[in-house]
Structure 1
């Protein structure tokens, strides 16, 4: 433990004193993530507003669905979108996932302020807000802050894989150390996030919901250094490679590993790199297609009509959900009535805009091939 590249975490697990080693691979991964992040920043800022909003919202919904799905909690895109789009005067704090969704929304707000993560009580407050409403009564915390009973991780074959820290006093001690690591500026932020992500899984401070809690904390901290889109791809990346994710936990928990957390950090950074690379590719390809359509819609002289068609194209390229009239009105910065009139006028003129009403409101979209054919032949 005297090696300059070896860092002690100040915690003693069942397998010995926990530590990690700065390996060349770790340094390389840190560099790669930051390099791709810089490229994403440039691309993201060059996207039109509608494309940015659509892709951000799409990533947000995906992330919330994935973080729930990893732990077997069912959620739908519609119920998440309903909470996101509810007017402030109609928000219901008792809606499913309200607390979780509102916290994730803050990751996209540059002026949302900090979420306190300075004490065990702060962790409990965050847990109560984003996880507790979905926890069964039998699994709700029964200690002063965390759990007072034992908890363990069970495998798919119902075998005990890992036993969480006990008693509660020791949980408080270990979580306090994890919080200290999270806020320490002596280590690179991405390494701190990976370490604390592992520690929450190791400590298992609650009977249920530890995964959702640690993933949100990781995403929240990631957006401090990286583009929020990367922070909103963590659960998605984990879901896509769950076997490697859990394998890294198992390896670091193994007594034979002697407390070395390096494998988990490397796995975590690899997931971030893959997530960042996929985002860059998606934005780069989308930007190229947008450039083509931007040239086509330039033929339309009426600015409002041109903008509405281009908004619908961006929506098709970067989102799974269709626009409603209010979405268009917000982008045009006009009244609902004016946006409705423009859409109806375009449809009447023969612009191939699809309109459907699956519930209370009409939704609008375009088929890219159809709109391309229409614009290629368009004569004002």
Structure 2
């Protein structure tokens, strides 16, 4: 683990000065076009990071893993793809809201997703629709307006936060433009630039919680664009699970004794992405095995329509957040068939023990407990 300058300061002042001079004048030192205002006092520090070998290796591993995630994700059948996207989106929104101090539940976010996808007519009273919509737009956008996205997130933050303290993006109209100029024009690998921007967007004013809420979305937006959608919507969830490390990096890098060095923050940021990808790969490969098992079991169903219904229900069980049943309306959309088709195809499946009712009115179906057990066997 890379040692911050603050750690050197705590051991020996002489060693600290020597180490600072070695780092700031190193060939691998990258001086940034930003100044850090120390958490204690008004001191402004020249920001820099050291592009050391271990950090570069981590960067390359992230790029490589993203390619594997893309391949595994693109191989998913459409219903599995949809269910897994919703699962990860729920986790991400829960994570970023929890870090912002906003109480929420998986049911709140799921209701917003259902509303957005047209499965729920009644508006979500909890008010999470806007943030889910913002992440949907990030996932769908080929070309996106960053300043517009940031404005949306600021409005959402104020809606939840109620303090209405002005964030840096509101106090300084040119703030986002300067950040974008750095992202687009500065000669450095893009993941380093995203990490640096994440720090400055979060650290730039007294309302760190609010700025951090916006910066996490900003980072996700760019990771979706630069890496892959799953990595992009796993960032906040991972940061929340590793909250102590995430928050410690701000404390260390915002300390005047750390002298403006952001290497420790970049390493933390890369580690969060790496951990998120590691968990995604394990999860995707585990679910892939279950999907293969489901496909083998389907060979036992002679009726083609019955196989189609069971395959959809199986994918939903494997890849969805709640692993529960599917209502009739969603089944008809996923199958591209009528309600009559679903009811008719389900009759034999219900009698032969492949599927069962979650409820009859409105109709909701699920794989039987026995079938779910077969899929969950190692």
* TM norm structure 2: 0.81
> For residue 132 of structure 1, what is the aligned residue in structure 2?
158
- The range that moved more, 261-270 or 88-97, is 88-97
Matched, 1:69 2:70: no
1:262–1:207 CA distance, 2 compared to 1 (3 A): closer
Give how far 1:72 is off. Answer: 2.1
Matches of 1:353 and 1:343, distance apart in 2: 8
Q: Secondary structure at the match of 1:72?
A: coil
Q: Structure 1: where are the runs of 5+ without partners? A: 147-167, 375-380
Who is 1:10 aligned against? 33
Deviates more, 1:294-303 or 1:200-209: 200-209
Q: Shift of residue 173 of structure 1?
A: 6.5
> How far apart, CA to CA, are the structure 2 residues paired with 1:254 and 1:142?
21
* Corresponding position: 1:81 with 2:107: no
* CA–CA distance in structure 1, aligned partners of residues 99 and 299 of structure 2: 44
**1:72–1:298: structure 2 CA closer, same or farther, 3 Å change rule?**
same
* Preserved contact between residue 202 and residue 208 of structure 2 (Cα < 8 Å): no
8 Å Cα contact 2:92-2:233 kept in structure 1: yes
Task: Give structure 2 stretches of 5+ with no counterpart.
Answer: 1-23, 39-44
- Aligned partner of 1:115 in structure 2 is 144
Q: 1:96 to 1:4 in 2, by over 3 A?
A: same
Q: Deviations over 1:325-352 (max 9, x none)?
A: 12221221112332233234421x2324
- Tell me, in whole angstroms, the C-alpha distance in 2 between the residues paired with 1:3 and 1:97: 47
State the shift of 1:24 in Å. 0.6
Rounded Cα–Cα distance in structure 2 between residues aligned with 1:319 and 1:30: 30
| Secondary structure in structure 1 of the residue aligned to 2:145 | coil
Paired residue secondary structure (2:146) = coil
Report the equivalent of 2:16.
none
Calculate the aligned-residue CA RMSD, in Å.
Answer: 2.8
Moved over 6 A (4+): none
Give yes or no for contact 2:195–2:265 (8 Å, CA) kept in 1: yes
- Partners of 2:100 and 2:129 in 1: CA distance: 18
Q: How far off is 1:92 after superposition?
A: 5.2
Residues 293, 372 of structure 1: 8 Å contact kept: no
Number of the residue aligned with 2:205? 204
More helix by share: 2
**Hey, what does 2:68 align to over in structure 1?**
39
Q: CA deviation at 1:304?
A: 1.8
Q: Is the 8 A contact 2:202 2:209 kept in 1?
A: no
1:102-125 superposed Cα distances (whole Å, 9 cap, x missing partner): 11112332xx3433225xxx4652
Give the aligned length. Answer: 342
Whole-Å Cα distance in 2 between the matches of residues 142 and 181 of structure 1? 20
Partner of 2:263: 262
Question: SS where residue 209 of structure 1 aligns?
Answer: helix
Q: Which residue of 1 aligns with 2:356?
A: 354
**Stretch deviating more after TM superposition (49-58 or 204-213):** 204-213
TM-score normalised by L of structure 1: 0.81
- Give distance in 2, aligned partners of 1:269 and 1:97: 29
Give the secondary structure class of the aligned counterpart of 1:19: strand
Write the distance in 1 (CA, Å) between the matches of 2:62 and 2:211: 26
Does the 8 Å contact 2:134/2:149 carry over to 1? no
